[in-house]
């Protein structure tokens, strides 16, 4: 069964991710795993006497966390959805990585950078680390997805052959929904390419794939990031798909920071696929 992991810290952005996961899970009948992680201070190895985390305080904290998770479940999920939860005392990035392997997750849905130190711990730099290293797709959510319908998906790329493995993963994801696929290539002044050549390159890239309804777009803009965000806004895209290099976390689009920059620049959710 398809499994979706959602790290939660009960912040607004985290709740947006939960709502998104609930919608996806309902659409494809996936299991949802809510994961709350608490990072212990360096040097703390137990919860016993002498630490800042006494057993009674810890038990009270865990009860409160459980209540909040059950409230999330009641608020965002239908009764017939399978929703499981776990609370772990572990570094957020390591905890997410370990739990992905433990449950054999298919997708991670995370909130974007938080505005407080606590939010930053869970959904700030750790979101970036997960995007950079994850072997499974990651959706980064920045805004309320109440209007999210999975009708228009944008795949932005330079369409080099190294992106084909990630494109397979993208298609496997997209085919679970009745959606339009918009294949996008951004032209900039510093990296300009004739539209005829670009269109031919994209057609050659997709010729061996069985694609659902799709269109090809070549968009000119002053930067790749602005091009992607402006195009997504123009067509009212539901989701922007990008590819990343696992070894560096850097997008293979055109320069070294596209995936990171786009995820920070747009309110629309961004999904990343590892090359």
- Cβ neighbours for 4, distance < 8 A, ≥ 6 positions apart: 21, 24, 25, 30, 31, 32, 33, 105, 106, 107, 108, 109
Instruction: Write out pLDDT tens, residues 41-60.
Output: 554 444 444 445 556 777 88
Max CA distance (Å), the chain = 71
pLDDT at residue 199 tops 90: yes
User: What is the dihedral angle through the alpha carbons of 44, 47, 53, 57, rounded to the nearest 10 degrees?
Assistant: 170
Give CA–CA dist 257/253, Å, rounded: 9
Give CA–CA dist 174/196, Å, rounded: 27
Average pLDDT on 58-83 reads: 91
Average pLDDT, the chain: 82
pLDDT at residue 230 tops 80: yes
* Residue 204 region by backbone torsions, left for phi larger than 0, else alpha for psi between -120 and 50, else beta: alpha
If pLDDT is split at 50, 70 and 90, which confidence band does 125 have?
Answer: low
Instruction: Write out pLDDT tens, residues 246-261.
Output: 544 434 433 334 555 5
Instruction: Write out pLDDT tens, residues 90-117.
Output: 888 899 999 999 999 999 999 875 443 3
**pLDDT higher at 85 or 123:** 85
Average pLDDT on 235-255 reads: 66
Number of Cβ within 10 Å of residue 129's Cβ equals: 16
Classified by CATH at the fold level, domain 152-274 comes out as Rossmann fold (3.40.50)
pLDDT at 246: 54
pTM given for the model:
0.84
pLDDT at residue 65 tops 70: yes
Q: Does domain 3-141 have CATH number 3.40.50.620?
A: yes
C-alpha torsion sign, points 241, 223, 247, 202: positive
pLDDT at 193: 85
**Tokens 């055109």, residue?**
254
pLDDT at 264: 53
Q: What percent of the chain has pLDDT over 90?
A: 52
Q: List, by residue range, all CATH 3.40.50.620 domains of the chain.
A: 3-141, 152-274
**Tokens 């298609």, residue?**
171
SS3 85: strand
Average pLDDT on 269-273 reads: 89
Instruction: Write out pLDDT tens, residues 203-222.
Output: 999 999 999 889 999 999 98
Instruction: Write out pLDDT tens, residues 144-187.
Output: 867 778 889 999 999 999 999 999 999 999 988 888 999 999 99
pLDDT at residue 233 tops 50: yes
């Amino acid at each position: 069964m398809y499994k979706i992991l959602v790290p939660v810290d009960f912040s607004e952005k985290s709740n947006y991710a939960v709502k998104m996961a609930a919608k996806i899970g309902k659409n494809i009948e996936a299991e949802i795993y809510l994961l709350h992680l608490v990072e212990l201070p360096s040097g703390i190895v137990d919860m016993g006497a002498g630490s800042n985390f006494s057993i009674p305080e810890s038990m009270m904290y865990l009860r409160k966390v459980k209540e909040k998770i059950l409230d999330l479940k009641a608020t965002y999920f239908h009764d017939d959805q399978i929703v499981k939860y776990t609370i772990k005392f572990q570094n957020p990035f390591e905890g997410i990585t370990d739990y992905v392997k433990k449950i054999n997750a298919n997708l991670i849905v995370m909130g974007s950078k938080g505005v407080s130190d606590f939010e930053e711990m869970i959904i700030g730099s750790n979101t970036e680390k997960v995007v950079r290293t994850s072997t499974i797709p990651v959706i980064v959510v920045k805004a309320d997805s109440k209007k999210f319908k999975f009708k228009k998906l944008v795949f932005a790329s330079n369409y080099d052959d190294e992106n084909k493995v990630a494109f397979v993963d993208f298609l496997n994801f997209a085919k679970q929904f009745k959606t339009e696929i918009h294949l996008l290539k951004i032209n900039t002044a510093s990296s300009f390419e004739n539209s005829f050549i670009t269109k031919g390159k994209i057609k050659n890239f997709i010729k061996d794939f069985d694609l659902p309804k799709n269109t090809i777009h070549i968009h000119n803009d002053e930067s790749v990031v602005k091009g992607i965000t402006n195009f997504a806004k123009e067509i009212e895209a539901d989701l922007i798909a990008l590819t990343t290099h696992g070894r560096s976390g850097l997008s293979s689009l055109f320069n070294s920071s596209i995936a990171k920059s786009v995820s920070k620049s747009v309110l629309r959710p961004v999904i990343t696929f590892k090359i």
